[in-house]
Structure 1
């Protein structure tokens, strides 16, 4: 009754292919949204970048914790609030701990990765989620092409840095930290 699929990287791979195809066709501005994976090409006229909403974990409908502004970058989010169920007061989500087979249980609600390639975002969101905030920020020092935004259970929004994007906090229940030593 088990099966293996490529869902963990398929959207990122496809988003990158679509961007390449659009470039080949002479398109210099586009926003490709594959639900959780957003790939941008250039920026809209007279703007610094595309505005990409970051959903408030467990929020209502289209509640946004904030907006990320990027140009020519990918934005990929993985979180525990989209695919989950509750049983006996415990939340079971889709990001699993390879050691136990059970959902990872750490301080995070979501990880958003900003990178050039969407497939990198797919890979790094899961990796960083598993590492947790402190280890992820250390790991990202060796990956200058990858940046991340972490949303924690204690209502912190932590940006690894902001060289490749701008972030505006919308949900005042959360506290924004941009210090990479957080």
Structure 2
């Protein structure tokens, strides 16, 4: 099987709005382990929508609102932590994160999010509370602005709409 590499997409200049060179809001979407396999991995649980499809829909919605959106996926905990820390120095305004299995195991990921104090929403495609007992709790949910789970790929759009509402109203 082909090894999945970390994927990072940057918006084009058009994605930051035609009115100015500065985006009205900067949003980072972080995707944890195995999410690069969406569309293939357990479609009965996660659906057939690919990660690229999710990111494209989010980027289109953000661009239409004058916000900048960047997506990053990694199967490696340290890379996600490094990206969270970089988000702080880059002035990211909001994070949308699906930590995958790291949500149930990673104190380090929680600590990184707490350290940067960037507001975030935790997203899970499946309803983690209707699955195995070890999935019922996440280390991130107690410090998240909100948690969306069980709404499929649409959960990302709901998280983005929430972030845009909060950020563009300021």
Higher relative CO (Cα under 8 Å, sequence separation at least 6) belongs to 2
Instruction: Provide the TM-score with structure 2 as the length reference.
Output: 0.31
Larger radius of gyration: 1
**Higher strand proportion:** 1
